[in-house]
Structure 1
Amino acid sequence: MRSPSSLKYGHGPVGIPQFTCGIKSRLSFLKSSRRIMRRAILFSIICLSWAAQVEVRAADTEPWNDPFWILLHQPSAVAELDLSPAQEQQFHAVRDDLDLRFLPLRNRSREEALSTATTLVAEAREKMQSLLEPKQQTRFKQLVLQRMGNDALLHEEVANRLNYSATQKTKLEKIDADTQEAVVELRKEMNDEGKDRQAVQQEYVKLLEDQQKKLVAVLTPVQRTALRNVIGEPFRGLKDNQPHIRAPDFGAEGEWINSSLLSLKELRGKVVVVHFYAFGCINCIRNYPWYLEWSERFKDKDVVIVGIHTPETSAERNSDSVRRKAAEAKFDFPVLIDDKKVNWNAWGNSMWPSVYLIDKQGYFREHWAGELKWKGNDGELHMRQKIEELLAE
């Protein structure tokens, strides 16, 4: 699969960068037994925690993994704030602007991405502080803590409210360090193609359950009551792991095949499938049958397929060749010739081929990087089912 040689960090086949969470490496939601729920005061954190990934702690501190940033893009979390119509309009304007500046970072150097993303997340916090009423701010802080899972006990605000003793702090940090060391080992196992990934997943869930018990055991009864107040009422919507990220509109530059100038705004109300490709890329060509199959399957439904041809080689920069190859491939859907990489960069794309699904409101909802049938993965089935889900919304 083609990917720029300058790419310095990975991107997952997800709901958007690997800054959020990946389909292939995604673990199922944490499940706690009723016995654990009875024993642990952290039930409202752990039992409702989102789909966890086996990641190194350093990655979790990156700005795109900030629970605050993630929850801003989770509709159920936004709904929990009960925004007024005026607030809602302002909220979406602010978030959409941030998204359109955030997405291009996905194919920048790691250093630039970290620096700019950190600035954008800080800006988001500042603007939400102004937009939300005090009660809404408090609730959102509670959602963030619940989203953090076990890590919430080491959060500065929780530590200050519970007033840990020096001994307690040392014990909590030791439990956390031991757990993270085990997580790193599990991640290595996840990357081992010969390893049973489901077994690793179960081991990971057990690891967090054990961590939970140990952490709670350090707290006094008074601190457990205080913790309940800090984290607030359990938020059932944390299981909703579908980020909504504003998709940039198609750039005005570039020629269109099979269509006049298109915009995502005029396609609102339809599910839009966007695939980036280059006609000389064999991995892209192997995806062609599925685009044609989707085109036929959904021809009488509100689905629009759009190809964006972004060249890598000099031969792929010839627009006549792009048109000829599109005709040979039997593409009867719109194709945008993206010679100057305007769209490639606006979308932060980094790999040929890449497929994105845009919902009826113009938000990114799913992303598959690479061949849809790569090494036994069934990305075609996954993306087709997702298209059907978006149609039903």
Structure 2
Amino acid sequence: MKTAAFSILFFILLALSKTASSDYPIAPEFKLPTQDTPIRLSSLRGKLVYVDFWASWCRPCKKSFPWMIGMKEKFKDMPFEIVAINLDTDKNLAEQFIKSQAINFPVAFDPEAKVAEMYGVEGMPSSYLVDPQGRLRIRYTGFWNKSKNEKEAAIKDLLQKMKTNQTTLF
């Protein structure tokens, strides 16, 4: 009888201890080379991170870069970072495109698509919002005008919640 009561109490306490923040999975950790120094997702803890998977052959991916550059500039005074992860097997193709843009965020290289696989990338571009605690908040596949507005609204909302110290409440 005591064992049954203890088991029931244990499961009740376990259920009560579950918080809303645990409803979001932890983003897979990565360490990837960039044009400068390697970047780790964990080094960006405390910031809202927009992780974007792209390739030079992907037309919508290329169209997303001016928007990402604009978002980085718009939120430059906020705890916000963008990491673009290129999946080209030939790094030169990516570098040619990078040189044509005024990119203001790190571009990492994942030519074997190991990180893309960890994130479950199914289409291009695929992007993810990772909250300051390292949790995957939102996933997007594709890039079009409507998605720009949705993505910007999500970024603004999460940054506002961070500003008002509500990051563990949502």
TM-score (norm 1): 0.36
- The residue type equivalent to 1:387 in the other structure is I
- Hey, what does 1:266 align to over in structure 2? 43
Consecutive aligned runs of 4 or more in structure 1 exceeding 4 Å deviation: 139-142
Q: Which ranges in structure 2 are unaligned for 5 or more consecutive residues?
A: 1-5, 163-170
Do the aligned residues in 2 keep the contact of 1:272 with 1:304 (CA within 8 Å)? yes
Structure 2 match to 1:247? 27
8 Å CA contact 1:250, 1:343 repeated in 2 = yes
**How far 1:277 moved relative to its partner?**
0.5
Instruction: Report the structure, 1 or 2, having the larger strand content.
Output: 2
1:216 maps to: none
Alpha-carbon distance in structure 2 between the residues aligned to 1:360 and 1:266: 11
Alignment RMSD, CA only?
2.5
Q: What CA distance in whole angstroms lies between the structure 1 residues aligned with 2:44 and 2:95?
A: 23
Q: Which residue of 2 aligns with 1:379?
A: 147
Paired with 1:329 and 1:136, the residues of 2 have a C-alpha distance of 56
CA 1:242–1:279 in 2, change beyond 3 Å: closer, same or farther?
farther
- 2:39 touches 2:108 (CA, 8 Å); kept in 1? no
Identify, as 1 or 2, the structure richer in helix. Answer: 1
**Counterparts of 2:127 and 2:22, CA distance in 1:** 17
Alignment of 1:52-71 (within 5 A): none
Percent sequence identity is 26
Post-superposition offset of 1:389: 2.1
Higher relative contact order (CA 8 A, sep 6+): 2
Match of 1:286, SS? helix
- What SS is found at the alignment partner of 2:39? coil
Deviations along 1:113-142, one digit per CA (max 9) or x if unpaired, are: xxxxxxxxxxxxxxxxxxx96325147679
Residue 31 of structure 2 contacts residue 41 of structure 2 at CA under 8 Å; is this kept in 1? no
1:294 corresponds to which letter in structure 2? M
1:290 corresponds to which of 57, 67, 73: 67
Specify the structure having the higher radius of gyration (Cα).
Answer: 1
Q: State the TM-score, normalizing by the size of structure 2.
A: 0.79
Task: State the Cα deviation string for residues 277-297 of structure 1 (Å, max 9, x = none).
Answer: 101111212222211110110
Aligned match for 2:83, one of 300, 306, 310? 306
Pairing 1:321–2:101 present = no
Distance in 2, Cα, partners of 1:361 & 1:141: 21
1:345 aligns with 2:123: no
Q: Which residue in 2 is equivalent to 1:389?
A: 157
SS of structure 2 residue aligned to 1:304: strand
